[in-house]
Amino acid sequence: MEKKIRIGITGYGNLGRGVEAAIKQNEDMQLVAVFSRRDPESVGVEDKSVKVLPITEARDYQAEIDVMILCGGSATDLPEQGPEFAQFFNTIDSFDTHAKIPEYFAAIDKVATNSGKTSIISVGWDPGMFSMNRLLGEAILPEGETYTFWGKGLSQGHSDAIRRVPGVKAGVQYTIPIEEAVNRVRNGENPTLTTKEKHLRECYVVAEDGADLREIEETIKTMPNYFADYETVVNFISEEELKNNHSKMMHGGFVIRSGVTGAGNKEIVEYSLKLDSNPEYTASVLVAYARAAFKMNQMGQAGAKTVFDVPIGLLSSKSPEQLRKELL
Amino acid sequence: MEKKIRIGITGYGNLGRGVEAAIKQNEDMQLVAVFSRRDPESVGVEDKSVKVLPITEARDYQAEIDVMILCGGSATDLPEQGPEFAQFFNTIDSFDTHAKIPEYFAAIDKVATNSGKTSIISVGWDPGMFSMNRLLGEAILPEGETYTFWGKGLSQGHSDAIRRVPGVKAGVQYTIPIEEAVNRVRNGENPTLTTKEKHLRECYVVAEDGADLREIEETIKTMPNYFADYETVVNFISEEELKNNHSKMMHGGFVIRSGVTGAGNKEIVEYSLKLDSNPEYTASVLVAYARAAFKMNQMGQAGAKTVFDVPIGLLSSKSPEQLRKELL
């Protein structure tokens, strides 16, 4: 057995916990430490042999960590932590603010190229696996349309928005692909569809005692950006029902490329995910790419990378020979 | 506009014709010549401005061709042509004799490393896109099972076998996934299934006048290797019906990874293809990889490669910046 790849985690929320779980499924990897802004005593890391340390001390552990998996949020954590950590570590992150990817890439690339580290950004399923399928779709079938559908899945941002409505005690929101739109795409009709024509939003809301349910429903349905443009369904339920039936962080979706070859032959390619746990699956992708970052760095390939730059053979713990023999 | 990538084709059957059609959909590429063992006069290349030449003269065109796409068969053509052409050209092929891939890779790698050419072998959808999804499946979800289903699709090998049965005038065979098996896999049951428990074989046969239909059916159903182990259905039809309803080379299938993360969360990933034209889709994949072979060779990455070794960004005609901005 070769030496294990030593992993560090920054940030121990749902994603960080998912990374800890995923590392346990990979025998060639080992979790060394979790770095957090919280009091280390309060960060209940599951494996008690793993060090829990203040994030400010991370740079002292350069010699002990091969790849740092950054599990902070894209809004405020990663724009700061990404370039900071790329000075000292090979890094993986799931930066998902699509519009800001170019500037984030540039910031990381500058630092990582200087430090000789390898940083793979925007890893996960979207951005990540879905992006790869969008690219493969149009590169292989240049004449055609690409469709991305999300769901059925729990949307964290939209659930937060519901909870901010006056009179709402708790609630969740599911993004659901509209079946008719999906069927038209799968049939190769190549319809023109906006995001709101592809998805509906279903809300499960627990109201405060005595709250005006009609007003809550109206406030949600007319909320700009989040709901106003969508077909939105609001269901009121009990706190118990919310806890029992709506506490899983399920998600998924699909990318469809519907193209034409030759004299009008239809070719339809679909990649789909059905996930019980969005954070655990995302974490599993991050961990596989941590392996690739480690190998690319050993090969001298420093700088910022995305899933488009990584030969997928590097994600596996198997040798190239074994992969060709078993999986090609 | 940069200079176009200049492509050559060896072998002008269904796949070669598909490559010609696919090149027309890619503005950064141009078909220079088709090389054939047949009398050039008899090779009906669609675009009359394309040179048609004897395959024996191919090596005289090294300076005019950036990538040669080898469209011969895996049984006898490619084992000979692959190493031969890798001496003079960057090459792409769809070598699909799974058991012989390691030795084929080694033979090509030796030659291409010496000649400084880049040869990507076993490109297409299986091997190819399906292989990539098998690899991604197990690398991302190490605890789980991978299932490959083929069909509904026309199997060339099995159709040929039917046509060799005495009394058979013409016929085709479809490989069809067994729905119950598919559903069990999609539900995350992780059943143990052999190839024959996943697929049935449906034959459409045109019998010679006066032939004994029962004997034909019996001969087909008991044919070792091809049909004996499978649930096989034989339908007798007229020559006209065969021509009208069974002349498309449709195919497809799906790769499903059914895995578990954390404390028993199920994660199901599915990649599926529904193809009107198997050879045209395969050809479209070959052409995208021809672009990658050209770029890898310019970067000095010589030798034999597979889809596992190629960063998918190289398949696109777009720049890395554009890909990050538009597709990530």
- Pick from A120, A152, A261 the residue to mutate for testing the B interface (most B CBs within 10 Å): A261
* Contact residues on chain A for B313, CB-CB shorter than 8 A: 135, 306, 308-309
Q: Per the structure block, which two tokens stand in for A185? A: 């795409």
**Percentage of chain B modeled with pLDDT above 90:** 92
Per-residue pLDDT at B47: 81
Of A102, A131, A272, the CB nearest to B321: A102
What stretches in chain A show pLDDT beneath 70?
Answer: 1
How large is the angle between the packed helices B77-85 and B101-115, nearest 10 degrees? Answer: 20
**For the residues B52-81, what does the mean pLDDT come to?**
96
pLDDT digits (tens, 9 = 90+) for B33-53: 999 998 888 887 878 889 999
pLDDT digits (tens, 9 = 90+) for A88-118: 999 999 999 989 999 999 999 999 999 999 9
Q: In whole numbers, what is the pLDDT of chain B averaged over residues?
A: 95
Of B265, B284, B328, the CB nearest to A261: B284
Which residues, 6 or more positions from B216, have their beta carbon under 8 angstroms from its beta carbon?
B165, B166, B167, B168, B205, B207, B234, B236
Q: Per the structure block, which two tokens stand in for B51? A: 């040179």
CA distance B59 to chain A (A): 28
> Is there a contact between A307 and B328 if contact means CB atoms under 8 Å apart?
yes
CA distance A237 to chain B (A): 25
**For the residues B6-27, what does the mean pLDDT come to?**
97
**Selection from B157, B133, B147, B205 nearest residue B178 by Cα:** B147
Of B138, B142, B324, the CB nearest to A101: B324
* Contact residues on chain B for A317, CB-CB shorter than 8 A: 139
**For the residues B141-158, what does the mean pLDDT come to?**
95
Please tell me the pTM assigned to this model: 0.95
Per-residue pLDDT at B1: 53
Closest chain A residue by Cα to residue B17: A262
Of B262, B266, B312, the CB nearest to A18: B262
Span of B47-51, B58-62, B242-246, B314-318 with lowest mean pLDDT? B47-51
pLDDT digits (tens, 9 = 90+) for A12-63: 999 999 999 999 999 999 999 999 998 888 887 878 889 999 999 999 999 9
Of A273, A276, A317, the CB nearest to B265: A276
**Selection from A181, A158, A146, A126 nearest residue A267 by Cα:** A146
Query: b/e string for A187-221 if b means 16 or more Cβ within 10 A?
Result: ebeeeebeeeebbbbbbbbbbeeebeeeebbebbb
pLDDT at B314 over 70: yes
The HSE-up count of residue B287 (CA atoms within 13 Å, CB side) is: 34
Handedness of CA A26, A8, B136, B100 (dihedral sign): negative
> Is there a contact between B122 and A328 if contact means CB atoms under 8 Å apart?
yes
> Is there a contact between B105 and A18 if contact means CB atoms under 8 Å apart?
no
**For the residues B123-141, what does the mean pLDDT come to?**
98
**Percentage of chain B modeled with pLDDT above 70:** 100
pLDDT at B24 over 90: yes
Per-residue pLDDT at A44: 79
**Measured between alpha carbons, how far is residue B11 from residues B14, B62, B80, B235 in Å?**
9, 17, 13, 34
Which amino acid is residue A31, in one-letter code?
L
* Contact residues on chain B for A101, CB-CB shorter than 8 A: 324-325, 328
Per-residue pLDDT at B80: 96
E-strand spans in A214-281?
231-236, 251-261, 265-275
**Measured between alpha carbons, how far is residue A328 from residues A292, A315, A320 in Å?**
19, 15, 10
Please count the residue pairs, one from chain A and one from chain B, whose beta carbons lie less than 8 angstroms apart: 208
Read off φ and ψ for residue B223, nearest 5 degrees. -65, 120
Strands A168-177 and A153-154: antiparallel
CB A118 within 8 A of CB A293: yes
Per-residue pLDDT at A1: 53
pLDDT at B105 over 90: yes
